[in-house]
Each structure stands twice: as structure tokens, then as C-alpha cells.
Structure 1
Amino acid sequence: MRLSGLQKEVLSLYRQCLRACRKKPEATRPHFQTFARTEFEKSLKLDKRDFGAIEFLLRKGRRQLEMYASPGVKDIRK
């Protein structure tokens, strides 16, 4: 199946999130992985032609990744 540019960006962001999880302490990794998964699952029902919403969520996700990937963040709870 061929993916659009936005779909590739979303998958890339998800992979970046999972890679960032690997840099966290082993005891808290599942918290980060669960958080990442639930954030992406919230948008599963979004219309794939709603480009504005998708681009907004990508920007929001990149900001969150930058914040949570910093070495000072050891755990995440929601």
C-alpha cells in the first residue's frame, strides 16, 4: 500500500516517539510507550483528508516529543 506524505510523517513521528522511549529508565519505559500509543490512538478515527487537523496534531506531537525526550524527564503519568 502506498502512503501519502502526511501518513509517512505520522509514522515517522510515532517511530521517533518509540525511539525516545528507549532512552528512558527501564522502569518507566512502559509509561512513555503507553502514553505515546494512546495519544496516537485518540486520532485514529480522524478523516485522513482533514489536512489541517492532521498537521496541527503533528506539530503538537513534535512539541510533546521534544519536551518528553529531554533527559530531565524521567517519568510520565497521566
Structure 2
Amino acid sequence: MRLSGLQKEVVGLYRRCLRECRKKPLATRPHFQEFARHEFDKNVKIDKRDFAAIEFFLRKGRRQLDMYASPGVKDIK
């Protein structure tokens, strides 16, 4: 199955999230992974043709990833 450009961006963002989780302390890594999964799961029902919503959530996700990827953030609740 071929993915559209937006679908590739979403998958890429999810993979980046999981890679960033590996940089966090071992004790808190599951918290970051659960948070990432929860954020993607709660938006899974968005229609794949709703480009505006998908692009909005991609921007929001990238901002959150940049914020949580900083070395000063050790845990997420």
C-alpha cells in the first residue's frame, strides 16, 4: 500500500517521537512513549481527506516534540 505525502509525514513524526523517547532516562522512557501513542491514537479518527486538520496536528505535534526533546525535560506526566 502506498502512502500519500501527508501520511508519510505523520509516520515520520511518529518515528521521530519514538527516537526522541530513546534519549530520555530509562526510568521515564515509558511515560514519553505512552504520551506519544496517546496523542496519535486520539486523532486517528480524522478523515484522511481533512488536510487542514492533519496539517494543524502535524504542526502541533512538531512543536510538542521540539519542546519535549529538549535535554531539560526528564519526565512527562
TM-score, scaled to structure 1: 0.98
Q: Which residue of 2 aligns with 1:31?
A: 31
Task: Give runs of ≥4 in structure 1 deviating > 2 Å.
Answer: none
Q: Which residue of 2 aligns with 1:11?
A: 11
% same residue: 81
Q: For residue 69 of structure 1, report the CA deviation from its aligned partner.
A: 0.3
Q: Distance in 2 between matches of 1:42 and 1:12?
A: 18
Q: Distance in 2 between matches of 1:65 and 1:44?
A: 18
Q: Distance in 1 between matches of 2:31 and 2:51?
A: 29
Q: For residue 29 of structure 1, report the CA deviation from its aligned partner.
A: 0.2
Q: Distance in 1 between matches of 2:8 and 2:26?
A: 29
TM-score, scaled to structure 2: 1.00
Q: Distance in 2 between matches of 1:45 and 1:39?
A: 12
One-letter identity of the residue aligned with 1:6: L
Partner SS, residue 13 of structure 1: helix
Q: For residue 58 of structure 1, report the CA deviation from its aligned partner.
A: 0.1
Aligned length: 77
The answer for unaligned runs of 5 or more in structure 1 is none
Q: For residue 54 of structure 1, report the CA deviation from its aligned partner.
A: 0.1
Partner SS, residue 74 of structure 2: coil
Q: For residue 61 of structure 1, report the CA deviation from its aligned partner.
A: 0.1
